[in-house]
Each structure stands twice: as structure tokens, then as C-alpha cells.
Structure 1
Amino acid sequence: MKDYTLIAGGKRISVSEKVYREYYKHYEHERYIEKVSSKKNLSFNALKEQGYPIENKMLDKQISLSEEVITKIMIEKMLKSIGQLNTYEKMIIEELFFNDKSERKLAKELSISQSTLSYRKKKLLEKLKKIIKE
């Protein structure tokens, strides 16, 4: 199975194939837009004259960039926090959140009730929240 990684905050992090493909789909689309705009000599003034709401698009990009930075910082904190969990706890987090396994399916594999797993997940998330705040 291929390992998919992206660079966030100067560190490589493992991501699902779906996240990896969506990231590069967006990245390639941005490159395509830049290529087309440079070929057709589209400028800020030309777009504004044509009635294209360029100011709104630029603002959206700035908000997205700040959200992306915050998201990367939170991912780093979360990865550090997960590193402080024991093996069993890490496995639960990985299966439920990174491998998109349902609570019912994981509970069956662990031979415990779904409600027990749900309780453990809740406690794990509280533990992670506490670790992150430290």
C-alpha cells in the first residue's frame, strides 16, 4: 500500500489517499489558472473593467491562507498530542479518524460493545484536548 504524505509546517505528515488527491487537484487547478491568466494577459485592472469581482476573490484567498496556517498549526499540535497516547489509544484514534472505520465495526473487531468504544473515544478526545491545552 502506498504511503501518502504532505508537508505541513515543515514536517511530512501521512494523509489518506483522498486528502492527498484533493490537495493536488486544487494545487494543479491553481497552477492552471495562473498559466491561463499569464497567457491571456489578464490583469487586475482588466478583470475589474470586465466586472469580475476580483476584490472578493482576493479576500477569499487571504482568508483561506490564514485558515490553512491555523489548520496546519492545529495538525502539528494534534500529532504531538497523539504521540503521547499509549498504543491502544493511538490505534482507536487511527482507526476511527484516519481510517474512517465506524465505531460499530471497530467495536466488533475489539470484541467490546459499541457503547463502550464510544465512551472510550469520548474520554480519549477529552485527554487529547487536555494535552493540547498544556
Structure 2
Amino acid sequence: MSHFTHMKTRFQNLFYLEKALNRLNIVHEEKLFTNSEIESSKTNLIIPQSNGYDIKFVWNGQEYELVVDMSYWEQPYPIESFIDKVAQQYAGEVIIGESQKTGFQPIKYQQNADGSNTLILERWNNEKIVTNA
């Protein structure tokens, strides 16, 4: 008997969530979902598993919830570690993406041996200095 677990997340942006999964080399696919309760169509992410019990990030109207049958978890690490890894990469992608909107560019993104990430951004001021003579 299947028993699905719904885990709340803070993932609200599909673009950054996909980038985080890509950075972790987690194979996933998009699936369009129409929810009459929310009255909109939203793309969900599916992480296929060989046993047929896929992991899903499903839009609940506010965020992407992780939906999984814990009895059929087939990932190389526990679900808590999985969520932590995705959340860490998601945060990095949000920082990079949002800072680029204000002119910053990432110059270094490094995953450290202790599991942390180092992110260095820079922005140059290209405005001309005008002097009145």
C-alpha cells in the first residue's frame, strides 16, 4: 500500500529549482499540471526512480512541495540530506540569479569539502565621471 508524504519546502521558483537539481546532477523532467482548486496550470518536476515510484515537486499554490512514497525511496542518501542538498543549491541559484538583476556577476562558485559552498560576486561601476571645468 502506498502512503505519500508531502513535505513543505521554501522552493517558489521553478527556474531556480531546476538549476539546483541540474547542479546536483539529478535527472528530472517537467510535467504540466492543472489544479482546479488553484485555477491555474503549473509545471511540476518529476524525478524518475527505477521502481516506478517517482519523486515529485508539486506546486501547492505557494511553493513546490516534495511528494514521495517513503517506502520506495531509492536515492543514494536519506531524504533529509536530499532536501538539505537541494535547498543549499537552490539558495545559491537564487542569490546568483537575483544579484545578476542588479548587475553582479558570479566569479566563483565552489563546493567545499565540508559541504558548504563559496560564492563570490562582483559588480563594476561603469559610469563616467563628469567634471565641470
Task: Name the TM-score, length of structure 2 as normaliser.
Answer: 0.32
Structure with a larger share of its residues in helix: 1
* Larger Rg computed on CA atoms: 1
* Structure with greater contact order relative to length (CA < 8 Å, sep ≥ 6): 2
Structure with a larger share of its residues in strand: 2
Task: Name the TM-score, length of structure 1 as normaliser.
Answer: 0.32
